[in-house]
Structures are given as C-alpha cells and as structure tokens.
Structure 1
C-alpha cells in the first residue's frame, strides 16, 4: 500500500523581515502484516484498522488509504470461510446498500452447505484460505465514497497460481468506512479473472 505523500509546507517571511522554521513533513505510515487465517492483510498505524477484536476490524481513517484498507479488511471478512461469528456481524454492521441483506442470506447458505459437506460443527470456521492480497487499482475516490479493484492470488487445484480482481465500493458513514454490498449480494458479480498486474499498484511489504 502506498504511504501518504510527504507534505511540503512553504512559509514565507513576513513584511518585517522575520522568518519562521518550516513545519516538519508529515509522518509516513508504518505498515505491518497480519495473517488472517491464511490471508495476509496490511495494517497501518495511521490509517487502520484501529480496532482488531474477535477477528473483526474497525476504525479506518477518513483518507484514501483508510478507504483502501477498509475495502480490503471488510471485504475479506464478509465471507463464509470464517464462520458466522465473523461474517454475520461484519455484514450486518459494516456492509450497506440495497443488496446487503441478500449478501448475508447467500453467505449463510454457502457457509451451511460447505460446513455440512466438510462435516464440521455448527459455527466453526471452514478452514484457512491461503490467499495473498497482492495489488490494487483505484477506479474512483471522493471524500465520502470510493471504488477500488483489489487483486487476490492463490493456488488452484493443480497448484497453479491464479489471480482475480474484485471491485469493492466503500462509503463513509457514521464515522467509518462501510463496504457497499455487491450486485445481488454475490461477490462473483464483482470479480473477474486477471492475467497481468499491469496498471496495478502492489501492496508494499
């Protein structure tokens, strides 16, 4: 993820001939990485998430970088893979839009079908994902709404790395970024296979 650009402040001397010392440049964000059940996710000390609790992620800065991190963290957690203790509150509290209810319904159905097929206890996670979040590309950004394409990579059944890009919309609401549910509540409608990272920005280590 790109760190915020340095802010250069130019202070001119006043008419009386005195001068002032330029303000120091803005501090760059420190990025660390979290292993979220096999998915590597970036964390920023400036842009969030500021709250990590019970596999939930909240508290993102009202900035471009905060919007990107919110799209990534909330989008990943709004998935049946982690079980209802994660996807239920994530979708209920952090996903908005006309298809949010449909997304919750479909995620519940997918989870239950996968859980029964794997013979897992009710409420348990479905297992690790083994996915890398590799890169992103902005589609649009404004103060209270943004759209970003996020690239995920992982092995297929033959062990070959495959990539897909998922378009995620976020809006600033009630003091934090929220993800807008995909069309018909289906992430498949927002994802496409990707052959090249040309035009995308890689997340920095």
Structure 2
C-alpha cells in the first residue's frame, strides 16, 4: 500500500481513498475475517436490544487504522433502546459518490444551502444525524459543503481544529455531478447504537469501500448532542477523525441500513 502524507489524513474520505489503494493492491485494513458471515437482514420488528459493537481497537491515527496496526482497546458497548426503527432507512449519494443513510421519518428533513438538517429526537434520528454531519464535514465535498456543516453542526473544543484541518486539505469546489472523488464504491452500510438519551447518543457506523467483489472496512465512533432543536456532532479530539476510527475484527453486530445487508 502506498504511504500517504500526514496532512492528507485530515480529510475524511482520505480513508476511503486509502481503502481503494488496498483494494487495488490486495492488501490493507478492514479485511473481513474469512469466516465472517454477512450482516443480518433487518427485521420488520424491533429487537429487544441492539447487538454490541464488534470487538475492535482504536488506532492512534488514521494511518494506523489503514495499516491495520490497532493499539488501544475500544470501550465496551452499552445496551441501546429497542425502538430504533431499523428498516426505515435508505441510502442517498453525496457529491463525489459516497452513499450515506437517511430516513423518511428521522431525517434529514431539510437538504438546502448545502446542509442536511432536521433530525428527529429519536435513536434513529441520532444515528442518521451523526452519519450525515460527519459525511458532509469532509474536504473532498468542497468548501461550500464542509464549511457550513462544520461551522453550524459541529460543536465542542475540537470544532475550530477540525475546520482548520479540513480547509487545509479540502477542495474549494463541489464535485460535479457524476464525479467520483474516490474512484470506487464507498458507503455507510451499517451501525451500532451504543447509548442513547434525549440529549446525547453515541454510535458507530461501518464504512465500506467496494471494488468488484472485494470489500474493505473501517468504523467511525461518533457522539451527537441535542442542541438548539437538532442533533449536533461532537468534534473528534483535536479535530482529528483519525482519533475515532477503528479497524473491525468482525462485521457481525452491525445493523445494516438496507435489506441486502452488509457486503461480505
């Protein structure tokens, strides 16, 4: 796998680009274990609890995640509510080609001025809010998208650092219709809800890069808080998404967004 400069790690989809390199070379992070089966198909009835997150480790940086060198054990998952409404989701495409989740009932209810806002104050609303805000806080989508997203929908001490990192490495313009910034299929395919209250939730979601029949995996762990009538994303430590990325040792336990399940 090629070595990428540290500054390129600031943009979220640099991870996807590095996953693509792994697909092309036949090496890289997030290879599902040979015995790992596909994720379960969503049920039309809610389960009694959400399956705990797969065993994973938190890398010191995105570079370690991409190189498959995990270091610190991730925190244990907690029991999550049962009424999340698993099947009420669909995937839509961001400029640049990444496919992320939304829900007719849980949001975003508004997609205007390059912002995705209006999320339900529910467990599913928290899940799709975290994924949409993190997805749009990516430099590869262009400054007209990442800047208002970070300025208006990211909170916490790392917010200013995140904006500086993304602006340093991001592009000034929005990708044209049909342009794929990563050169392969990248999408958010599943999630785990670790904890939820009406004021704060913690989630993990599974990012999958696909080329042909090959798949590479990475997991983002995010916290959202209810502020001023909507969910906001808590900035990662020091504004670095690398601090909240891990390489899963299994894809079991992630609830898929679509009926076809998680690629295996």
**CA RMSD of superposed structures (Å):** 2.7
Tell me which protein shows more strand as a share of its residues: 1
Which residue number corresponds to residue 36 of structure 1?
94
- Deviation string 1:110-146 (CA, Å, 9 cap, x unpaired) is 11xxx5xxxxxx4344953431111111222111001
Which residue number corresponds to residue 173 of structure 2?
123
Shift of 1:43: 2.3
Single out whichever of 73-82 and 53-62 deviates more from structure 2.
53-62
Single out whichever of 158-167 and 138-147 deviates more from structure 2.
158-167
Q: Which has the higher contact order (CA 8 A, sep 6+)?
A: 2
Rg larger in 1 or in 2?
Answer: 1
1:177 aligns with 2:227: no
CA change 1:57–1:34 in 2 (3 A) is: same
Which residue number corresponds to residue 118 of structure 1?
none
Which residue number corresponds to residue 200 of structure 2?
145
Unaligned runs of at least 5 residues, structure 1: 7-25, 116-121
Normalising by structure 1, we get a TM-score of: 0.76
Separation in 2 of the partners of 1:30 and 1:159?
27
1:77 aligns with 2:131: no
SS at match of 2:151: helix
1:58 aligns with 2:112: no
Contact 1:136 1:200 (8 Å CA) reproduced? yes
Which residue number corresponds to residue 209 of structure 2?
154
